[in-house]
Amino acid sequence: MKVSAAIADILRREGVEVIFGYPRNAVLESAAAIGIRPVIVRQERTGVHMADALSRLTRGKHMGVFAMQHGPGTENAYGGVAQAYSESVPVLVLPQGYARRIAHVPDNYNATISMRDITKHAEPITLPGEVGNIMRRAFTLLRNGRLRPVLVEMPWDILDEEAGDQSDYRPVVRTRSAPDPDAVRVAAQALVEAQRPVIYAGQGVHWAEAYAELRELAELLAAPVSTSLEGKSAFDETHPLALGSGGAAIPGQLRHFLDRADLIFGIGCSFAQTTFGVSMPAGKRVIHATLDPADFNKCVPCEIALAGDARLTLSMLVEACRELLDGPRDAAPVAREIAEVEAQWMAQWLPLLESEDAPLSPYRVLWELQKTVDVAETIITHDAGSPRDQLTPFWKSTAPLSYLGWGKSTQLGYGLGLAMGAKLACPDKLCINVWGDAAIGFTGMDFETAVRERLPILSILLNNASMAIELPIMPEATERYRATDISGNYADFARALGGYGERVTQPGDIRGAILRGIEATRNGQPALIEFITAKETRASRP
């Protein structure tokens, strides 16, 4: 068996059914030969984004894999790998590399070296007989510990060599670890004694599928629950104890409860300090429970640290708290306070959410979208900049992994690939990406990939003919040189690529256009609905 065929066979054994890529890479052909579907993109970064979404939505059962050519293909993929790394998403990256004799020649892009800082592990194949060992190491790292991309570089001159017998390869095991029981008891005591605890849930709850345990702890303690961007949809945001999700823009009730908390319990989160995350108030008591001990005290000092899988941690905490309580606490007072603060906050935003203005308020577009779709049967993601800030605080997710949140790297154009990967993973769901006229400039040509690969997503395009978020900091450049002006007719663009396209300018037409777009996706056609919006720069930053 040739090296490329051996790699493809190992992918199949590890449950890989789809491989994303851009030629030339011999593994793409070898994978196709044994029934692994190759999905070819227009730009490498988008392919990594699609692999990222596939890993998220299947929780790594069908690992996202991306293969690309050496040199420029690998260079173009760098941003996508960096994004997956920042979001802690496992993706197997398979770059073809320069021949071994010139792999370290200056000016030849060496992925093993260049991507070492944005992968959990990066290793080249230098001996054909080591394929099994190298791939076993890769999948072990992809499925265990903190989840991040792993890279295996394949020099082009090795792919056609004999790999030897790889028939003894077995899929790797996945392990879970639990925190120190003594530390759990201390944490439980602190949670029970707290007067105003707040639970802050991150992406680790998704990976551990700890939804029931999170809800059980919250209801036991009558503790309100907030989530990070990556953790959004880990807790039903229509639940009376839900505070919603935050990033650069957050709901008013979330800020209210965090600032008044006497104890913050972070579960499955890194507490990383980022412009696009929730800022934790200083001076609070903090219990930090996460898989990676490197996150403890990284940005937020913690009083109690619990290292382990989110589901195991929450199960142990529930049991320990039950031993200290006579029964679940009355959640009514907390629920009333949440509802009252949320109502006050929403009163400030309803004029924008229900605006009849033209150009359209982007808030009205997204409010109408939420009221039109079946939220529980929808997977939605934002893009960087204004779309994220305009969507996240107001969209109430009700089902796990129905919202793909992100923000640490915040690359424009990420949402399109996530929506396409989501549709591949969950073909029965309505998969939506919300982006602006800046984001489409980065990855828009891959809308053609959605058409060609029969991935009928719904793309909501907010077109304000401007880099609106930059207007307050570039007034001279805008006034004198129109430096922030960008635009186009994106509905025509979508139709030209074979999709459904429609442009909307009046508020009364929003709902009908959304319904027509949904109908197009049901008929197997990707749809892009373009809304002409105002240059809105306001965001909820209580």
Nearest to 207 by CA among 364, 65, 313: 313
Per-residue pLDDT for 486 more than 90?
Answer: yes
Which residue carries 């077109």 as its tokens?
463
Q: If pLDDT is split at 50, 70 and 90, which confidence band does 165 have?
A: confident
As a whole-number percent, the residues of the chain with pLDDT over 70 amount to 100
Are the C-beta atoms of 412 and 361 separated by less than 8 Å? no
- The DSSP output letter for 198 is E
pLDDT in tens, 46-97: 999 999 999 999 999 999 999 999 999 999 999 999 999 999 999 999 999 9
pLDDT score recorded for residue 468: 86
Predicted pLDDT at 409: 86
CB 3 within 8 A of CB 163: yes
The pLDDT assigned to 277 comes to 86
Computed over every residue of the chain, the mean pLDDT equals 97
pLDDT-based confidence at residue 422 (cuts at 50, 70, 90): very high
What digits encode the pLDDT tens for the residues 174-227? 999 999 999 999 999 999 999 999 999 999 999 999 999 999 999 999 999 999
pLDDT band at 487, cuts 50/70/90? confident
Q: Look at residue 298 in the predicted model and tell me its pLDDT.
A: 95
- How far, rounded to the nearest angstrom, does the alpha carbon of residue 311 sit from its chain's CA centroid? 20
What does the buried/exposed string (b/e) look like for 457-478 if buried means 16 or more CB atoms within 10 Å of the residue's CB?
bbbbbbbbebbbbbeeeeeeeb
The mean pLDDT of 139-165, rounded to a whole number, is 96
> What pLDDT does 246 receive?
83
- Residue 431's pLDDT is 98
Question: What sections of 2-116 are H helices per DSSP?
Answer: 3-13, 26-33, 44-57, 72-86, 111-114
Average pLDDT estimate for 102-127:
97
Distance CA 78, CA 114 (A): 9
**b/e map of 72-107 (b: 16 or more CB within 10 Å)?**
ebbebbbbbbbbbbbbbbbbbbbbbbbeeeebeeee
* Whole-number percent of the chain with pLDDT over 90: 95
What average pLDDT does this structure show over 488-511?
98
- Mean pLDDT calculated for residue range 519-535: 98
pTM above 0.95, yes or no: yes
Please compute the mean of the pLDDT values over residues 137-164 and round it to a whole number.
97
Contact of 231 with 203, CB cutoff 8 Å:
yes
Can you give the pLDDT at residue 469? 85
Q: What confidence tens digit (pLDDT) does each residue in 426-481 have?
A: 999 999 999 999 999 999 999 999 999 999 999 999 999 999 888 899 999 999 99
Span 328-380, pLDDT tens digits: 999 999 999 999 999 999 999 999 999 999 999 999 999 999 999 999 999 99
Task: Yes or no: say if 36 and 17 are a contact pair by the CB < 8 Å rule.
Answer: yes
Q: Can you list the domains of the chain with their CATH numbers?
A: 3-155 (3.40.50.970), 181-337 (3.40.50.1220), 354-532 (3.40.50.970)
pLDDT band for 146, please (50, 70, 90 cuts). Answer: very high
